Structure 1
Amino acid sequence: MPTVLQLTDVSVVREGSRVVDSVSWTVDSDERWVVLGPNGAGKTTILQVAAAQTHPSSGDVEILGEDLGSVDLFELRPRIGFASTTIARRIPAKEKVVDVVLTAAYSVTGRWNEEYESVDVRRAHRVLDEWKLDHLSERLFGELSDGEQKRVQIARSVMTDPELLLLDEPAASLDLGAREELLQMLGGYASSEGAPAIVMVTHHVEEIPRGFTHALLLGKGSVIAAGPLAEVITAETLGEAFGLALTVTEEGGRYTARAIS
Structure 2
Amino acid sequence: MTENQDSRAVVALRDVAVHRRSSGQEIVLDGIDWIVRPGEHWALLGANGAGKTTLLRLVGAAMYPTLGSVEVLGDRLGRVDMRELRARVGLVSAAQKVPLEATAHTVVLTGATGTVQPLWREYGSAVRERARVLLAELGCKEFADR
TM-score tier (shorter)? 0.7 to 0.9
Alpha-carbon offset, residue 42 of structure 1: 1.0
Aligned to 2:95, the other structure's residue is in SS state helix
Deviations 1:154-182 (A, max 9, x none): xxxxxxxxxxxxxxxxxxxxxxxxxxxxx
The total of aligned residue pairs comes to 137
Alpha-carbon offset, residue 138 of structure 1: 1.5
Alpha-carbon offset, residue 59 of structure 1: 1.4
Q: What percent identity do the matched residue pairs reach?
A: 39
Separation in 2, partners of 1:112, 1:79: 17
Q: Whose strand proportion is higher, 1 or 2? A: 1
Separation in 2, partners of 1:136, 1:78: 26
Q: Give structure 1 stretches of 5+ with no counterpart.
A: 140-261
**What is the aligned partner in structure 2 of residue 193 from structure 1?**
none
Alpha-carbon offset, residue 68 of structure 1: 0.9
Separation in 2, partners of 1:10, 1:114: 40
Alpha-carbon offset, residue 63 of structure 1: 0.5
| Normalised TM-score (structure 2) | 0.83
Is 1:108–2:106 an aligned residue pair? Answer: no
Separation in 2, partners of 1:112, 1:47: 26
Residues 137 and 30 of structure 1, relative CA distance in 2, 3 Å threshold: closer
**What is the aligned partner in structure 2 of residue 121 from structure 1?**
128
**What is the aligned partner in structure 2 of residue 48 from structure 1?**
57
Is 1:4–2:10 an aligned residue pair? Answer: yes
| Normalised TM-score (structure 1) | 0.49
**What is the aligned partner in structure 1 of residue 43 from structure 2?**
34
Q: Which runs of 4+ in 1 moved over 6 A?
A: none
Give the alignment of 1:113-192 within 5 angstroms.
113-139=120-146
Q: Give structure 2 stretches of 5+ with no counterpart.
A: none
Deviations 1:83-123 (A, max 9, x none): 33123xx2111222211110111111111453222221111
